[in-house]
Structure 1
Amino acid sequence: MLVTWLATGRPHYVSMDGSIAYISDIGADILKPLFVAGCAITAVCFFLSLCVERGLRHVGRLMPHMHTRERVFGSLSIFGSLIGGCGLILLSIFDTKRHTSLHRVFLLVFILGVAISAIFTVIEFRWLNRDFPDVRTLKIAYLAKAIIAAILILLAFAFGVALYQSSNVGAVLEWTISFGFTLYILTFFFDLRHSKEVQHGELSAEKFTTRTMPHNDRLTASAMQADSA
């Protein structure tokens, strides 16, 4: 969409206040079908990525949840992604050109939903990292999600202010946030790829709570299994 706007000579759309187009300005015009389809695909993929990851941990193909708290945080992150996804789809349908007020309401719903999901995901990975401190991939995933989520939340606050104070700054922030959100979603691809060739139950919680070998040895074995995957 950005390439289309630039390639067509940076046209000024009816809904624009500044000289830089928002994503929603482009999406409210001739590219609305693409905008709606893209938002729907993004929302569904985001939600399903969290659900699939949760399922793979449950069946022992990813490092498991060892305590109820991780399961709770994981469920809350999925719930947040559902809210954010619904907001994303609805804001694309109720575009800024024809339904300005509704569009901004659903934009807020999207931002809050994603922020809630990201916060609980980071907390979940924090506890997973503490349960399996020797698993390098978990630490990488935790740090990547924490850094990206923190930056995106700060940018979202700045965007909220700029939306009413400086249209061009708001547009730049919106494009930056959109690319950052894409990067955040890709971190889940990094997680899911580690389930490749890992057998069902190979990383089940029961195997890590067994008393047949010392605690440190269990963690070392789990790290080797995860890294080799």
Structure 2
Amino acid sequence: MAVFSHDHHHWAYVWIPIAGAFMWFSTLLAMLITWLATGRPHYVSMDGNVPYISDIGADILKPLFIVGCSITAVSFFLTLFIERYLRHSGRLMPNMRTRERVLGMLAVFGSFIGGSGLILLSIFDTKRFSTLHRLFLLIFMVGVAISAIFTIVEYRWISKDFRGYLMKAIIAGVLIILAIAFAVTLFKNTNVGGILEWCIAFGFTFYLLTFYFDLRQSKGVHKGELRPENISRRRTFWYTRRARH
């Protein structure tokens, strides 16, 4: 019975990235459907024919926008924080060197900065606080980009045989490229910029989901089982046994 309980106690936190991804996707979808269902209205803050997410979020759906952004931001930060704790407690592959530990902490810090920017940009909407809104949008995108880069590099250095970071790297790489294109079109072609923003936003859902597969690797792993000293002991035993045979 104890084994069964241990095998499943990770589910309390493994659903956090899924909940965040679901809330984010649902918020975006509800906003997009509302705009289409109401006859594609032209909001006060719109410059082109394609609304930015913030244009819809500054209107009657502002409460939904704030709640959706807040839950997503908190879940994003908690996911990175829990992942760091699981590595520290020996339930995920640990950081064997200081550089990996530093990268992990910077990734958590980036998620905090990005999450804070996401919450603030939803509160300071583009209709009433245009300058602040763009500032917090920049903070959100930079924070998430920094967190993603540090996370991917950390995963790469933890183990050369670890392939779990590849999907995360592909998704993050595509989103960063789209974000750069979005920054350019924001001032040159607002309609293209609006389309890119929606693509980036929906793509962020898939990035959040990748952490589900990271956290679930702690299933069945006891606390301290994957600490550096234990892994070193296992490797020494394995090499010694191999040498004898």
TM-score under structure 2 length normalisation:
0.82
* Cα distance in structure 2, aligned partners of 1:82 and 1:118: 12
Does structure 1 residue 111 correspond to structure 2 residue 146?
Answer: no
Equivalent residue number for residue 86 of structure 1: 116
Query: Could you say if the C-alpha distance between residues 215 and 116 of structure 1 is closer, same or farther in structure 2, counting changes exceeding 3 Å?
Result: farther
Equivalent residue number for residue 126 of structure 1: 156
Tell me, what secondary structure is at the counterpart of 2:135?
A: helix
CA displacement 1:73-113 (0-9 Å, x = unmatched):
00011111111111111111100000111100111111111
1:185-200 mapped onto 2 (5 Å cutoff): 185-200=208-223
Does structure 1 residue 172 correspond to structure 2 residue 202?
Answer: no
Equivalent residue number for residue 30 of structure 1: 60
Offset, 1:216: 11
Q: CA-atom RMSD, angstroms?
A: 1.5
Moved more, 204-213 or 88-97: 204-213
CA displacement 1:154-190 (0-9 Å, x = unmatched):
1111000111111110110000000111111111111
State the one-letter code of the partner of 1:159: F
Give the 4+ runs in structure 1 shifted more than 2 A.
none
Does structure 1 residue 43 correspond to structure 2 residue 68?
Answer: no
Offset, 1:215: 8.8
Equivalent residue number for residue 239 of structure 2: 214
Percent identity between the two aligned chains: 65
Equivalent residue number for residue 205 of structure 1: 228
Moved more, 188-197 or 49-58: 188-197
Instruction: Answer yes or no: is the 8 Å Cα contact 1:43–1:84 preserved in 2.
Output: yes
Equivalent residue number for residue 2 of structure 1: 32
Query: Could you say if the C-alpha distance between residues 58 and 216 of structure 1 is closer, same or farther in structure 2, counting changes exceeding 3 Å?
Result: farther
**Number of aligned positions between the proteins:** 210
Structure 1 residue runs without a partner (length 5+): 218-229
* Cα distance in structure 2, aligned partners of 1:45 and 1:215: 44
Tell me, what secondary structure is at the counterpart of 1:111?
A: helix
* Cα distance in structure 1, aligned partners of 2:34 and 2:68: 15
